[in-house]
Amino acid sequence: MSDDWQISPYERSRRAPLHFWARADNARFTAYILSKAAKLETVSAMADDIGYGGTPSIATYEAFVREASLSLELIIKGVIAQRLEVGEKLGVTSVPANHNVPQLWDHAKLPKPSDADYGRLVQARVYLMWASRYPAPLKDEHGDKDSEEIQRYATERLPNSKLFRKPRSFAWDDIRRIYSVVHDCFWEIRNAHFP
């Protein structure tokens, strides 16, 4: 007999794969809307309506990277929760309560991402930890480590240059592709155990 009746409703939610999936899907939808909003003329009109003094395209992009990163974190956590629910042995016994997207990817036993997509997972971690919310990380050494990882994984050399690098894209198509890999894995596991 299962001990599920003995756990709190909060713990039940922390273990529920479909809770993660639903919130990931909401964040993914919002990221999509935000990716389109930056190009709409109505966004500038709305900025004028409220006396917004910033740049609407920058504001919507910052919101996009937050929601896109959150969608990846949550769908990956959904896979972890799903694997745990069906009794798979992972390097964790519960869904980790952190924003370390590349580490979560490993815990979820997802397919090895391309170097470019691994860089995007690093970017998502940095956005979630501080870059899309605060002007700087809490500790200087965290910022130095993040800068090194971004330089190493989230940039690529310019053609015919040994010195100059450009950032990898972190756009809707990138997020959609990475999210799809995780989403498909989630449903493959779920459908195999709960047909």
Report DSSP state, residue 5.
G
Query: Would you list the domain boundaries of the chain?
Result: 9-193
Predicted pLDDT of residue 42: 85
- What are the helix (H) ranges across 2-128? 9-15, 17-37, 41-50, 56-85, 101-107, 115-126
Q: How confident is the model at residue 12 (pLDDT cuts 50, 70, 90)?
A: confident
Paired tokens of 186: 């989630």
pLDDT one-digit tens code per residue, 123-148: 999 999 998 888 899 999 999 999 99
pTM tops 0.85: yes
Cα atoms in the Cβ-side hemisphere of radius 13 Å centred on 37: 21
pLDDT, tens digit, 9 for 90 and up, residues 142-158: 999 999 999 888 888 88
**For residue 97, what are the CA distances in angstroms to 28, 94, 144, 160?**
20, 9, 23, 43
